[in-house]
Homo-oligomer: A and B are copies of this chain.
Amino acid sequence: MKHFVTGAAGFIGSNLVDRLLASDELVIGYDNLSTGIRRFNDSARANHAFAFVEGDLLDQTRLSAAMRGADFVWHFAANADVRFGIEHPRKDLEQNTIVTYNVLEAMRANSVRKIAFSSTGSIYGETALIPTSEDAPFPVQTSLYGASKLACEGLIAAYCEGFGLQGWIFRFVSVLGERYTHGHIFDFFEMLTNDPTTLPVLGDGHQRKSYIYVQDCVDAMLTAVAKANDKVNIFNLGTDEYIELNESIRIICRSLRVAPKLVYSGGERGWVGDNPFIYLDTRRIRALGWRPKITIAEGVVRTLDWLRVNRWVYEVRA
């Protein structure tokens, strides 16, 4: 089978690409390298089953041409920046909503019938239902990022109904692991390397978040696509635990052997639209037999280990 992966040079996309290639699948990677990192596809590029197209998803012609012959689309490219949505509201609209429309139109043009999509737990806003199930009460959006992913989900579901596509929508918690280049561990590692004596922390440190390890995340998606066969298949992806930001900081400091003074910005939320407690109900994906293999604490340590030996990503990201 030939897979078309958008965001193929990104964190989750590049890990998926490697897994698909390891299973002897054919893969076309599509990425504009705006936040994707070319080196993340180095091993993939050594494989003849992989083709990389540097292209923008706003370029409908290029996109549609690149998708020719594909059987399955993994749409992972996105503006994944939850925090700074209000500084550039157009970005979420363009790079998430409009781009997803373009992907769906390219699928129609190429008669590709199946799509998997990386959505987010942020679309539940500040739900009162915790753990949060896929059929939680109709949520009110609190971030432009969540709103844009909600728009994408709606488009995909409507295309499934209207044009006979089949969709798998994954609502992730934050993901940890190799090639992680975005989020609090990434930021804290850099800050503590520069100054191990002081660590500025957004919010009051009591924000509770759930994380999933990237390989567990890829496992879960492959499981869902193999086993769930509805028209629209929606799955929360996460572990059965959560962690306080303060606890995560303790693990990071222990691992890095530092003892900084913590300086809190204060307040329940790290930023406007931050959700102080994210914890998804994952019974639906577990019912398919999937289990995470890595705990959150292990995931934090492994992520640090990876960053420690891949400091070059800070140069690339700068």
B140 pairs with A138, CB closer than 8 A: no
Encode contact with B along A149-182: 1 for CB under 8 Å, 0 otherwise: 0110111011101110000000000000000000
Min C-beta distance of A221 to chain B, whole Å? 19
State in angstroms the CA–CA spacing of A62 and B268 once bound together: 40
Min C-beta distance of A104 to chain B, whole Å? 8
State in angstroms the CA–CA spacing of A147 and B160 once bound together: 12
State in angstroms the CA–CA spacing of A151 and B105 once bound together: 18
Q: Tell me which residues across on chain B come within 8 A of A125, comparing CB atoms.
A: 157
Encode contact with B along A115-139: 1 for CB under 8 Å, 0 otherwise: 0000000000100000000111111
Q: Tell me which residues across on chain B come within 8 A of A272, comparing CB atoms.
A: 161-162
B273 pairs with A162, CB closer than 8 A: yes
B146 pairs with A154, CB closer than 8 A: yes
State in angstroms the CA–CA spacing of A137 and B136 once bound together: 5
Q: Tell me which residues across on chain B come within 8 A of A140, comparing CB atoms.
A: 157, 232, 234
Residue of B whose beta carbon sits closest to that of A134: B138
B143 pairs with A162, CB closer than 8 A: yes
Known: A150-B150, A151-B147. A161 touches B138 (CB 8 A): no
A138 pairs with B141, CB closer than 8 A: no
Does A277 belong to the interface (CB within 8 Å)?
A: no
State in angstroms the CA–CA spacing of A272 and B148 once bound together: 25
State which of A73-81, A93-101, A202-210, A294-302 sits at the interface with chain B. A93-101
Q: How many residues of A contact B (CB 8 A)?
A: 40
Q: Tell me which residues across on chain B come within 8 A of A135, comparing CB atoms.
A: 137-138
Min C-beta distance of A111 to chain B, whole Å? 15
State in angstroms the CA–CA spacing of A162 and B138 once bound together: 20
State in angstroms the CA–CA spacing of A146 and B162 once bound together: 12
Does A144 belong to the interface (CB within 8 Å)?
A: yes
A158 pairs with B146, CB closer than 8 A: yes
Residue of B whose beta carbon sits closest to that of A230: B140
Q: Tell me which residues across on chain B come within 8 A of A163, comparing CB atoms.
A: 86
Known: A137-B137, A138-B134. A157 touches B147 (CB 8 A): yes
Does A89 belong to the interface (CB within 8 Å)?
A: yes
Q: Tell me which residues across on chain B come within 8 A of A104, comparing CB atoms.
A: 89
A89-B105, A136-B138 given; 12 more Cβ-contact pairs under 8 Å = A89-B104, A138-B139, A140-B157, A141-B158, A141-B161, A143-B161, A146-B158, A147-B155, A147-B157, A158-B273, A161-B272, A162-B272
Ordered by A's residue number, 28 sampled pairs between the chains whose C-beta atoms are within 8 Å are A85-B158, A85-B162, A86-B162, A89-B101, A89-B104, A89-B105, A90-B101, A97-B97, A98-B98, A134-B138, A137-B138, A141-B153, A141-B157, A141-B161, A142-B161, A143-B158, A143-B161, A143-B162, A144-B159, A144-B162, A146-B158, A147-B151, A147-B154, A150-B150, A151-B154, A151-B155, A161-B272, A162-B273
